[in-house]
Structure 1
Amino acid sequence: MRLGKNQRQHRIAQILRQESVSSQDHLVELLTAQGVAVTQATVSRDLDDLGAVKVPTGGGSVYAIPELPSEQVAPDDHLRRVLGEWVVAVGRSQNLVVLNTPPGSAHVVGSAIDRSAVDGVLGTVAGDDTVLVVATEQAGGSAVADFFRSLSGLTDPAEPALMEESS
């Protein structure tokens, strides 16, 4: 399959995080194994665009992408501090979780969640005072809402809740 440039580069970044890739030809082989049609020349340009560098290892060198601040994983205590300070209510509906914040604060909470790589969270959408968190079907909104409620210090599910499911 042919992927767009951004999709292909995202796939390359994932591979480089998961595997030791010592050559462009090896990367082409890994992409081909995933069904992605790509040439060595394209991989070379993609590696340049991604800022990939060769990093020495015990047995040679491998490609790596220096982490950008927005892609660095934040420690758990950072997420606890942000949620404890900014989240005022937690609600859920099936695999959706809604976090309420004071006006103008939702982006801080959404970014902290995104950077924390929370298990069971696909992603967030932040507005002005509301963060929509999409949970995986496996995790479910209830478990993710309970997790965020606990980190926020809102341990009582009877706290103001939005969109609670009826049983």
Structure 2
Amino acid sequence: MSDARAVDKVQRQRVLRDLLATRALQSQADVVDALAAEGIACNQATVSRDLDDLKAVKVRGVDGSQSYRVRADLVDSGWADVEATIRQFVVDITASGNLVVLRTPPACAHPVASAIDLGGVDGAIATIAGDDTVLVVAAEGLAGADLAQRIRAHLGH
């Protein structure tokens, strides 16, 4: 552990953003500890404000654990994360009306829904995840079959 050093808010948030991009920090206490390991002393209230400022969200990883990520970093990665997640977990894609139904193995629907929500899939306005099924809602005027085809085209399905 480094000696604590004085840093301003911008420097602290820069270090925090780097930590969130490279480590699975699951709680604000984990974030406080990680910053302390970088020589930056702060309390939970400061971390809470910094996470809000950075627009950090908790996302579920492929192993089911949740950790903080900066939403902009997830969106910037776009289809790469969506593609990898869907290739890993989706076993079937079907459409009905303005809906797309994605089937996964048990306990794998949440990572798929999160990837679609955060990946900014064009035409998908919302997801609902169960245990092994993700319901994707298409935007007004877009048929579910068309959205399913967009997902398949980008993913090689």
TM-score calculated relative to the size of structure 2: 0.54
Following TM superposition, the consecutive aligned residue runs of length 4 or more in structure 1 with deviations greater than 6 angstroms are none
Structure 2 partner of 1:66: 54
Q: Within 5 A, what are the aligned runs for 1:138-149?
A: 138-149=141-152
Q: Is the 8 Å Cα contact of residues 83 and 148 (structure 1) preserved in structure 2?
A: no
Residue 51 of structure 1: how far off its partner (Å): 4.3
Cα-to-partner distance string for 1:37-85 (whole Å, 9 max, x where unaligned): xxxxxxxxxxxxx948xxxxxxxxxxx9422126331432111111111
Amino acid at match of 2:54: P
Q: Is the 8 Å Cα contact of residues 120 and 138 (structure 1) preserved in structure 2?
A: no
Structure 1 partner of 2:98: 95
Partners of 1:135 and 1:109 lie apart in 2 by 16
Structure 1 partner of 2:135: 132
Structure number with greater Rg is 1
Amino acid at match of 2:81: H
Out of 83, 94, 101, the residue aligned to residue 80 of structure 1 is 83
Partners of 1:70 and 1:120 lie apart in 2 by 23
Tell which deviates more after alignment, 106-115 or 117-126.
117-126
Partners of 1:70 and 1:133 lie apart in 2 by 23
Structure 2 partner of 1:150: 153
Residue 126 of structure 1: how far off its partner (Å): 0.5
Cα-to-partner distance string for 1:15-47 (whole Å, 9 max, x where unaligned): xxxxxxxxxxxxxxxxxxxxxxxxxxxxxxxxx
Out of 108, 117, 121, the residue aligned to residue 120 of structure 2 is 117
Partners of 2:86 and 2:154 lie apart in 1 by 6
Structure 2 partner of 1:159: none
TM-score calculated relative to the size of structure 1: 0.51
Q: Within 5 A, what are the aligned runs for 1:32-47?
A: none
- Unaligned runs of at least 5 residues, structure 2: 1-47, 57-68
Number of aligned residue pairs: give it: 96
SS in 1 for 2:140: coil
